[in-house]
């Protein structure tokens, strides 16, 4: 990978922040967008803007082709068996809520179990809390090892024949850990449960094969994988999606409407009520093209090298605590600097042109498990390199020196 050539394709990175060249280390929150994605969306609005599936005119046909073409790209990216298994959503949150509301509320009843982990993003925790409250099901948690990983023995001990749903993030947005989804899925299926995967942090960084994983549902967000905000997708096995009822009604999902009864379109459109996120889908399709041109295997290998380099360098800093395993992690490191609040760390780094995240990262139960109120997080992507990590380390040394003098 030629990182400099890749970086040049992202216009936003070519700027100074507070008099310093921008080092963007917040891609776990949202990635930057390459020029090819920006151009694809601009071209759609300038040349093809029309509603889809409705008009017979040329613009309508071109818009429909672009929208459904993007669905085909998502299906191929995930190795889904059919485009019928790809539902466009606003993002991972909407996709997970769709599964919880449409599938789980019907599948679960009093005495059943829903199994998740303490590391889950709120988007993969609160929907299951609500299902448990509505159905009487019990919400259970797979415990974490001291380094934040999951043991298969604990998975087997937590999932039982009463478990109806298991929902786990593929990659932690705090710990950087890559969870053993294939093995968890096998255990879930042996007990008669369906497997839901939060793929927000995995899809941008590695090849994902939903048929190899054998998961039943898989959710992703476009904005974390070089695509636009407001677009994502849900993969679901056709056998499950075909039995689920829509939760949003009107517009695109309608087949036939009478005064007192209505019927729905076939998959996947029955779950896409109203005017779809057409330009977002076009942008997501362009992002997939971009990532595949660079190579997802290459991105994966580059990020793992960068993550280990960053984890090693940060762990060597006096007074810094880095969280999560040292190995088998994606490109992010979450940390705290002794006696300095994470928000202060982020503020000082921003004054040096370095953008990192600070807060609870939508993982408050995990923060309590770590025994902290918040952390700072540096997250890397295909446009980052070791020089960016070095800038981060230098900025943290200056932060520590500044607050050391301030405290003294």
Please give the positions annotated as active site: 362
Q: State the CB neighbour count (10 A cutoff) for residue 107.
A: 19
CA distances from 116 to 125, 219, 273 (A): 7, 15, 29
Q: How far is CA 27 from the centre of its chain?
A: 11
């Amino acid at each position: 990978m030629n990182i400099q050539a890749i970086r040049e394709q992202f216009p936003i990175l070519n700027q100074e922040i507070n008099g310093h060249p921008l080092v963007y280390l917040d891609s776990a929150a949202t990635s930057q967008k390459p020029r090819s994605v920006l151009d694809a969306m601009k071209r759609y609005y300038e040349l093809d803007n029309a509603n889809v599936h409705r008009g017979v005119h040329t613009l309508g046909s071109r818009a429909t082709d672009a929208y459904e073409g993007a669905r085909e790209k998502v299906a191929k990216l995930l190795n889904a068996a059919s485009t019928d298994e790809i539902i466009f959503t606003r993002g991972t949150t909407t996709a997970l809520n769709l599964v919880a509301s449409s599938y789980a509320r019907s599948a679960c009843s009093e005495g059943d179990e829903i199994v998740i982990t303490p590391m889950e993003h709120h988007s993969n925790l609160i929907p299951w809390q609500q299902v448990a409250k509505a159905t009487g099901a019990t919400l259970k948690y797979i415990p974490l090892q001291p380094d934040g990983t999951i043991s298969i023995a604990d998975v087997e001990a937590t999932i039982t024949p009463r478990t109806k749903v298991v929902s786990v993030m593929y990659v932690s947005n705090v710990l950087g850990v890559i969870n053993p989804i294939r093995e968890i899925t096998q255990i879930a299926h042996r007990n008669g449960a369906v497997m839901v995967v939060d793929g927000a942090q995995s899809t941008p960084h590695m090849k994902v094969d939903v048929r190899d994983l054998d998961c039943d549902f898989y959710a992703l967000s476009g904005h974390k994988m070089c695509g636009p905000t407001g677009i994502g997708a849900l993969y679901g096995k056709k056998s499950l999606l075909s039995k689920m009822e829509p939760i949003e009604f009107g517009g695109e999902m309608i087949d036939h409407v009478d005064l007192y009864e209505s019927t729905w379109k076939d998959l996947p459109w029955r779950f896409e009520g109203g005017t779809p996120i057409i330009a977002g889908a076009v942008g997501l399709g362009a992002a997939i093209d971009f990532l595949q041109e660079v190579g997802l295997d290459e991105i994966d290998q580059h990020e793992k090298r960068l993550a280990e380099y960053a984890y090693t360098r940060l762990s060597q800093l006096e007074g810094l605590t880095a969280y999560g395993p040292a190995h088998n992690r994606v490109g992010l490191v979450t940390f705290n600097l002794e006696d300095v609040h994470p928000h202060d760390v982020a503020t000082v780094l921003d004054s040096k042109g370095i953008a990192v995240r600070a807060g609870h990262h939508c993982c408050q139960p995990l923060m309590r498990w770590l025994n902290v109120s918040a952390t700072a997080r540096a997250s890397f992507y295909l446009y980052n390199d070791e020089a960016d990590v070095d800038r981060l380390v230098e900025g943290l040394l200056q932060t520590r020196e500044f607050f050391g003098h301030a405290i003294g």
